[in-house]
Structure 1
Amino acid sequence: MIDLFLYNWQVREEWFVWCKSLPEEELHAERTGGMGSLFQNLVHMIDCELLWMNYLAKEPVTYEPREMISTLEEIIVYSDFTRDITQRTLSAWSDGIENKSIQITSRNGKVHSFTYEKVISHLITHEIHHIGQLSVWSREIGRKPVSSDLIVRDYE
């Protein structure tokens, strides 16, 4: 489980480096799908990680400057903050906790029950999904995407 978080964080870091080579307008340019831009996709990936970690954590946290994120460097700081929370949350897990359930009330008032294991699986695949969107958009602007090839990565 933690291996796939390490993989996702490594790929995310490489996307940050990749994005640094872009003109600012490309980072914010409106795109089809995803969250609408490279910038917003990156923020969304981190937002979701923190949101779900907060559901699993004993003491949820907020990222106060979240609403003021306007630069890639601010996204990177937010990512580092969230990664720290995720690492602390996952390191505090005990045997059998993956079967524990949480209840989430959706916007329409429906209550959903998810195991911790399902939440973690969702978080991992959610980021991979959005990494794919970044890859498609990079090709659309004529740039080579970050490789997301897990098999050749050393992320442990």
Structure 2
Amino acid sequence: MTTSHFAHLAAYNEWMNRKLYGAAAALPAERLHEDRGAFFGSIFGTLNHLVIADLIWFKRIAAGVPGLASLQCLDELPRPASLDQRLCATLPELDALRLKLDAVILAFSAEVQPAQLDGAFTWTSMKGIASTKRLGDVLLHVFNHQTHHRGQATTLFSQLGVDVGPTDLLLLLPEVA
């Protein structure tokens, strides 16, 4: 994959998050927090988990890949201790954190270089297990993880009769001659 692929995925991530947070803002708080049997319980829990996972991964990348100016501001953002830690009490607070994080992901995707994507990236999991993989492959996992849980969120919205609209990445890809 090239850096342009990750730029597309970052733009898709931001676009979908705007759709989901818009849909979430239209729901009463009790519906947003209602346990719907999803892995992270509620719509809010699922959106919260996505923020947690992105924070964890991009903080790992910031620590493991030197020279990425776009990730320096991550020091100001929370460091989650678990995958289901409640980072914010309200949707507006979570949305503000999501907006900051999406801006970081977009800036990172514009900054990362092909040599960095091909390079080894080492991190330690939350269980203390060290791993080394190609950074580009890890990023594929990160963006795939986002898509997976956003798919769960769109299902939860659908169960409540809320249509978040089209969700295909294809809609954001440029036409070519």
Structure 1 residue aligned with 2:75 = 61
1:6 aligns with 2:11: yes
Structure 2 residue aligned with 1:22 = 27
Gaps of 5+ in 1: none
Instruction: State the shift of 1:64 in Å.
Output: 4.3
**Where in structure 2 are the equivalents of 1:132-143 lying within 5 Å?**
132-143=151-162
Cα deviation per residue 1:33-66 (whole Å; 9 max; x = unaligned)? 2311111111111221121111112455242498
Q: Distance in 1 between matches of 2:111 and 2:9?
A: 17
Are residues 109 and 54 of structure 1, via their aligned partners in 2, closer, same or farther at CA, if it must alter by over 3 Å? closer
Q: How many residues align?
A: 156
Gaps of 5+ in 2: 1-5, 67-71, 81-85
Cα deviation per residue 1:7-36 (whole Å; 9 max; x = unaligned)? 121011011111111110010001212311
> TM-score when scaled to structure 2?
0.77
Report the 3-state secondary structure (helix = DSSP H, G, I; strand = E; otherwise coil) of the residue aligned with 2:107.
Answer: helix
90-99 vs 126-135, greater mean Cα deviation: 90-99
Are residues 54 and 29 of structure 1, via their aligned partners in 2, closer, same or farther at CA, if it must alter by over 3 Å? same
Moved runs in structure 1, 4+ residues, more than 6 A?
Answer: none
Q: Distance in 2 between matches of 1:6 and 1:86?
A: 9
Task: Determine if contact 2:50/2:149 at 8 Å carries over to the other structure.
Answer: yes
**Where in structure 2 are the equivalents of 1:140-151 lying within 5 Å?**
140-151=159-170
Structure 2 residue aligned with 1:95 = 114
1:131 aligns with 2:150: yes
Q: Distance in 2 between matches of 1:24 and 1:94?
A: 42
Quote the sequence identity (%).
21
1:31 aligns with 2:36: yes
Are residues 130 and 53 of structure 1, via their aligned partners in 2, closer, same or farther at CA, if it must alter by over 3 Å? same
Task: Determine if contact 2:16/2:167 at 8 Å carries over to the other structure.
Answer: yes
Are residues 28 and 115 of structure 1, via their aligned partners in 2, closer, same or farther at CA, if it must alter by over 3 Å? same
59-68 vs 4-13, greater mean Cα deviation: 59-68
Task: Determine if contact 1:50/1:86 at 8 Å carries over to the other structure.
Answer: no
69-78 vs 138-147, greater mean Cα deviation: 138-147
